[in-house]
């Protein structure tokens, strides 16, 4: 049993290390992009399905409440939380439209849409990206495997090059926490003598 734990740990660390080696520059660029959106009175919208929906909500909470730093709330919104909106769209139109209709209703040029999909092929996430691009919203995919169709549609793709869902999700968690920490740094700590 201990071997199972140790093997999972080694795999998780290796996958995360490989992702960071490939994406350090993009994580810095994305955090600057999000910080700039917040500074310009724009927002971060986040969406995904299943575990990725939970990640979207978790990340929005880190921005709206706080991450590690005491600071003002930041405008982030998970498009996965309003069950009345989601179920009415899914019922009246289709499940594929649950995020794109919200992007059309709430999004504006200068916002950032962060999509999370382990496969990179979620139809409703792809539809959200297409709607966002029509509005001049900067689009990002946090995905796995080969990035899927999503990675070819977005302005920035952050791909965990692995096909094991738990390892992809663990790396996504790490990446999202790093984004929160970097955005806080750019907005509230950069240039401070205490950084």
pLDDT at residue 187, rounded to an integer? 96
Could you tell me if residue 194 is inside a domain? no
- What is the extent of the structural domain holding 35? 2-188
Asked whether residue 46 carries a pLDDT value surpassing 90, the answer given is: yes
Across the range 44-50, mean pLDDT stands at 98
Mean pLDDT, residues 72-95: 98
Does a structural domain hold residue 148? yes
Please say whether the dihedral angle defined by the alpha carbons of residues 107, 108, 111 and 117, taken in this order, is positive or negative: positive
Q: What is the CATH number of the domain that holds 55?
A: 3.40.50.10490
Q: Is residue 195 part of a domain?
A: no
Domain membership flag for residue 28: yes
pLDDT bin (cut points 50, 70, 90) of residue 190 is: confident
pTM, 2 dp? 0.95
Measured from the Cβ of residue 150, the count of other Cβ atoms closer than 10 Å reads 25
Q: What is the mean pLDDT of the chain?
A: 96
**Domain presence at residue 193:** no
Place of tokens 């921005």: 63
Number of H helices, E strands in the chain: 6, 5
Interval 112-119 mean pLDDT: 98
Could you tell me what percent of the chain has a pLDDT over 90? 96
User: What pLDDT, on a 0 to 100 scale, did the predictor assign at position 192?
Assistant: 63
Write down the pLDDT at residue 194. 53
Other CB atoms within a 10 A radius of the CB of residue 13 amount to: 13
pLDDT tens digits, 25-40: 999 999 999 999 999 9
């Amino acid at each position: 049993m201990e071997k199972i734990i140790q093997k999972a740990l080694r795999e998780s660390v290796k996958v995360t290390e490989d992702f960071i080696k490939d994406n350090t520059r993009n994580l810095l660029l994305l955090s600057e992009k999000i910080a700039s959106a917040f500074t310009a009175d724009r927002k971060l919208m986040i969406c995904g399905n299943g575990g990725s929906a939970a990640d979207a909500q978790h990340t929005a909470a880190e921005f709206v409440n706080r991450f590690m730093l005491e600071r003002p709330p930041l405008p982030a919104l998970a498009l996965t939380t309003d069950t009345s909106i989601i179920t009415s769209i899914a019922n009246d139109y289709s499940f594929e439209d649950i995020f794109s209709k919200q992007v059309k209703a709430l999004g504006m040029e200068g916002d950032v849409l962060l999509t999370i999909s382990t496969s990179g092929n979620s139809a409703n996430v792809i539809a959200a990206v297409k709607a966002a691009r029509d509005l001049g919203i900067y689009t990002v995919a946090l995905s796995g495997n080969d990035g899927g169709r999503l990675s070819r549609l977005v302005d920035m793709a952050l791909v965990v090059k692995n096909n094991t869902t738990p390892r992809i999700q663990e790396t996504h968690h790490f990446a999202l926490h790093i984004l929160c920490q970097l955005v806080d740094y750019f907005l509230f700590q950069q240039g401070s003598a205490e950084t």
